Amino acid sequence: MSEDNGSSSPTPGLPPKPGKRLTLGHIADQLGISTATVSLALRDSPLVAEETREKVKQTAQEVGYIYNRSAASLRTARSQIVGVAVHDILNPFFAEVFSALEDVLEEQGQMIFICNHRDDVKRQRAFVNTLLQHRADGLILCPSVGTSAEEINRLVDQGIPVTLVAREVQGVWAPCVRGDDLSGTFQITKHLLAQGHKDIAMIGGRRDSSTGKYRNAGWRKAMSEAGFDPDSQLDLPELMTQADGRAAVSKVLEARERPTAIVGFNDLVAFGLMTTFRRAGIEPGPDIAVTGYDDIDGADARTPALTSVNSQPDKIGRLAALTLLRQIAGDRVPNTPIVIEPELKVRESSPPPGVRLAPKLAE
């Protein structure tokens, strides 16, 4: 009889029986420390010395231990999971917002689940349900068009910390961090009026979202105060992407009173407009002034450089993350919007009619 400590040789052709699942106790015994210390070290707790934390992590990696978040959440009532849902993760504005909030959340050991709901409220609801099943600590949400205050308030009533970002929903019991969209488009329209433009179109924006509604309202306010009826101007809603901007050019050119300037809902719409205007032989800037919104990376590198509004996405992201963390920690946070003042960036794409500010592109 062989000395195999009671184990038997595996049957030929069959895989070996699975071993026992590794536990915190295995690592604790190997390092001669308590399981509580191991648990804290794996969660990057500052209560454990950095040298000990590194030893624990290295040992866990060597033995193939996988941290059991589900078990930990049962012990601590925390999952260290936060959901982040936006309508267009491909938009560089949201990439900047996400980068900022990710930095803040990761410093606190939070794991982030991302959803690109594409303004599909059913897709958003499915993501939220998944978060609830994983006992997520909280949710940062740029709400889809069609999101009701009741469904957000239901989460808050269940004790789920929620912070809205970029878009607000009237009547919610959760805080919102967003830019002052009305002020931003008011400023940029006033700039175009000061340049001598009178026929100024508004291109883009989902008017059922707070962002689309406020940006359109800022354009309307500036036009009205200057003595122009905004309803007599070209106003094309629902456009959000570069493809939408390209498709809108034909409508601009077919307008009864062709505008001499355009307030684009965002930089993506403006980029699509500028590219297609040029293909039609119309030069952005001297032939038609074009402005954007969000001041995304590359807006200042175009020819002409795009006049835009910097809505400080990094600040929005950081404040959204900090606001959610306060709620997770048990603080009572007012459910009033935290509004970030935007900054107008005047560049070459918005000169007076017929004036060229950018160098002429080679034929």
Q: What is the pLDDT of residues 161-217, one digit of tens each?
A: 999 999 999 999 999 999 999 999 999 999 999 999 999 999 999 999 999 999 999
What DSSP letter does each residue of 180-248 carry, written as one string?
-HHHHHHHHHHHHHHTT---EEEE---TTSHHHHHHHHHHHHHHHHTT--GGGS-EE-S--SHHHHHHH
Separation between Cα atoms, residue 84 and residue 35, nearest integer Å: 32
Q: What is the pLDDT of residues 218-258, one digit of tens each?
A: 999 999 999 999 999 999 999 999 999 999 999 999 998 89
Q: What's the confidence (pLDDT) of residue 307?
A: 98
CB of 242 within 8 A of CB of 270?
no
Q: What is the pLDDT of residues 42-86, one digit of tens each?
A: 877 777 888 888 888 888 887 766 655 545 444 445 678 999 999
Q: Answer left, alpha or beta for residue 6, where phi above 0 means left and psi between -120 and 50 means alpha.
A: left
State yes or no: pLDDT of 9 exceeds 60.
no
Length in residues, the chain: 363
Tell which residue, 304, 302, 307, has the closest CA to residue 356.
304
Percent of the chain at pLDDT > 70 equals 89
pTM: 0.79
State yes or no: pLDDT of 303 exceeds 90.
yes
Tell which residue, 44, 38, 177, 40, has the closest CA to residue 108.
44
Asked whether the bond before 304 is cis by omega within 30 degrees of 0, the reply is: yes
3-class DSSP assignment, residue 177? strand
Q: What's the confidence (pLDDT) of residue 69?
A: 52
CB of 264 within 8 A of CB of 291?
yes
Q: What is the pLDDT of residues 115-135, one digit of tens each?
A: 999 999 999 999 999 998 888
Q: What average pLDDT does this structure show over 255-284?
A: 96
Please, is 32 exposed, middle or buried when counting C-beta atoms within 10 Å of its C-beta (0-12, 13-18, 19+)? exposed
CB of 192 within 8 A of CB of 350?
yes
- Reported as a pLDDT band with limits 50, 70 and 90, residue 19 is very low
Q: What average pLDDT does this structure show over 273-287?
A: 96
Q: What's the confidence (pLDDT) of residue 11?
A: 44
Separation between Cα atoms, residue 303 and residue 356, nearest integer Å: 11
- CA-based torsion, 88, 93, 94, 99: positive or negative: positive
Phi, psi of 284, deg, nearest 5: -60, 130
Mean pLDDT of all residues belonging to the chain: 89
